[in-house]
Amino acid sequence: MHFSKMGCGNGDNKHVTVFILTVLCVGVYIYLYVDINSSLQKLEDLERSTYYHLNLILADHNRPREDKPKLLKPHYVKHTRNGSETQFFLHNYNISGPILTIFTSWSKSNETDLIRNNTVRNWSLFSPYLYPILFTNDTGLKRDVRAMGWDSLPIIHSGKGVPVLKHMYLDAMKKIESPLYAFVNGDILFTQSLLEILVSVLHSDLYQNGTVLVVGRRTNVLNVKRKTASSFQDLANVSVKIGSLFTPWGLDYFITSKTFPWRDMPDVVIGRVGYDNFLVVESNKRKIAVIDATKTLLAVHQTTKKGGNFESRKKLNKDYNINLIAKIYKKINYGMGTSNAAKYFTKYNSKSQVYIVKK
């Protein structure tokens, strides 16, 4: 429209104008073309990067939400709370009590005090959906976590003083009735994306007809402050700003159904390399549905300058599990035990609901 108006001068002026406009248009076209292409390229790169992954989660966090008790509404979950008695009416499921019994273990140490305290407060927030347990023999630790609404159990079975993973599950199952159980490393903080995946797992055929193991990659965040750890939104924001997705080799949470064959597992211990990847290999072998939750579950790993990453590689008896597994299984390809080896993964649908899909 503007062109013709502008071009309504004398003949020479018109040609000059058209020429200039053409040059401008080509320039803009080339600029846009290059820009769009590099944007597409960037997008492709981002898709594989932490940033994209975290923005997905953040977008989900920033979507309008109703109050906390209605959090699970999209998944047709209702609950009523009568005193300590809690009932969930979940699809055609009727669950009394927590959805997930979540447990960990740590020993006394001054350096990690703040991290542990963040974890204790964070996991408490999920009550009554989660039932947190600390495995410890230390009366002081036991008293501290109990004051924050956790339960505790003694470490009955250990290897070189470190808790045996399978017995943590078996002891937790003896103590608490819930559809799902998880050992989680003690420096991991969650947001409500944890509840969303738990509900989608319970709804899935994979869970209803079989056995599941949910694992995934964590997001390392340096020096998580107490204030940051006390809000889901802050936690999601800080993860996007300074967080980085950790390697698919390092797994920090293991959500399993009650039917997971823990009794058949070797006595691997926590906090030493190998047990995480072994579990994925073994589950795949046994046709247990391994679900990679990385795309929808924000698991914040509180990292400090001093350490927090590859800790298990620095410990005494670091090969404890590797040696134990080698005695029982002739050949184990640990490379087939990363979160990438999961046969299923989670994703958001257009309604921001968590879905489980086959790879």
Ligand X SMILES: *[C@@H]1O[C@H](CO)[C@@H](O)[C@H](O)[C@H]1NC(C)=O
233 belongs to the binding site for ligand X (CB under 6 A): yes
| Maximum CA extent, the chain | 97
Identify which of residues 230 and 353 has a Cβ nearer to ligand X in the complex.
230
Identify which of residues 120 and 281 has a Cβ nearer to ligand X in the complex.
120
Query: Residue number with the shortest CB distance to ligand X?
Result: 121
Q: Which of 49, 86, 117, 353 binds ligand X (CB under 6 A)?
A: 117
Identify which of residues 14 and 315 has a Cβ nearer to ligand X in the complex.
315
Amino acid at 25: C
Identify which of residues 61 and 217 has a Cβ nearer to ligand X in the complex.
61
Q: Which of 155, 279, 297, 342 binds ligand X (CB under 6 A)?
A: 155
Q: Which of 9, 27, 69, 161 binds ligand X (CB under 6 A)?
A: 161
- Pairing relationship of beta strands 130-135 and 188-190 according to DSSP bridges: unpaired
Which long-range contacts does 152-160 make (Cβ < 8 Å, 24+ apart)? Answer: 153/103, 155/105, 157/267, 158/269, 159/267, 159/269, 159/320, 159/324, 160/269, 160/316, 160/317, 160/320
121 belongs to the binding site for ligand X (CB under 6 A): yes
Q: Which of 17, 137, 284, 352 binds ligand X (CB under 6 A)?
A: 137
125 belongs to the binding site for ligand X (CB under 6 A): yes
Residue 259 CA to residue 320 CA, distance in Å, equals 27
Residue 266 CA to residue 272 CA, distance in Å, equals 14
Q: How far is the CB of 236 from ligand X (least distance, A)?
A: 7
> End-to-end distance of the chain based on CA atoms, in angstroms?
52
Residue 201 CA to residue 18 CA, distance in Å, equals 63
Q: How far is the CB of 241 from ligand X (least distance, A)?
A: 9
Q: How far is the CB of 22 from ligand X (least distance, A)?
A: 41
207 CB-near residues (< 8 Å, 6+ apart): 179, 201, 257, 289
Q: Which of 60, 144, 187, 292 binds ligand X (CB under 6 A)?
A: 144
Structure-token match 């230390």, residue found: 138
Give the closest residue to 111 by CA, choosing from 220, 186, 184: 186
**For residue 62, what is the DSSP state?**
H
Residue 225 CA to residue 171 CA, distance in Å, equals 33
Identify which of residues 94 and 350 has a Cβ nearer to ligand X in the complex.
94
349 belongs to the binding site for ligand X (CB under 6 A): no
Window of 45-53, 105-113, 251-259, 310-318 that interacts with ligand X by CB under 6 A = 105-113
158 belongs to the binding site for ligand X (CB under 6 A): yes
Supply 287's token pair: 């046709």
Contacts to ligand X from residues 49-88, by CB under 6 A: 62, 80, 82, 87
Q: Is 317 exposed, middle or buried (0-12, 13-18, 19+ CB in 10 A)?
A: middle
Q: Give the interface size with ligand X as a residue count (CB under 6 A).
A: 35
Residue 240 CA to residue 104 CA, distance in Å, equals 26
231 belongs to the binding site for ligand X (CB under 6 A): yes
Q: How far is the CB of 343 from ligand X (least distance, A)?
A: 12
230 belongs to the binding site for ligand X (CB under 6 A): yes
Q: Which of 37, 38, 39, 96 binds ligand X (CB under 6 A)?
A: 96
Q: How far is the CB of 210 from ligand X (least distance, A)?
A: 7
Q: Which of 4, 10, 84, 94 binds ligand X (CB under 6 A)?
A: 94
Give the closest residue to 18 by CA, choosing from 31, 8, 28: 8
- Residues within the interface to ligand X (CB under 6 A): 62, 80, 82, 87, 89, 94, 96, 108-110, 113-114, 117, 121-122, 124-125, 137, 144, 154-156, 158, 161, 189, 205, 209, 229-235, 237
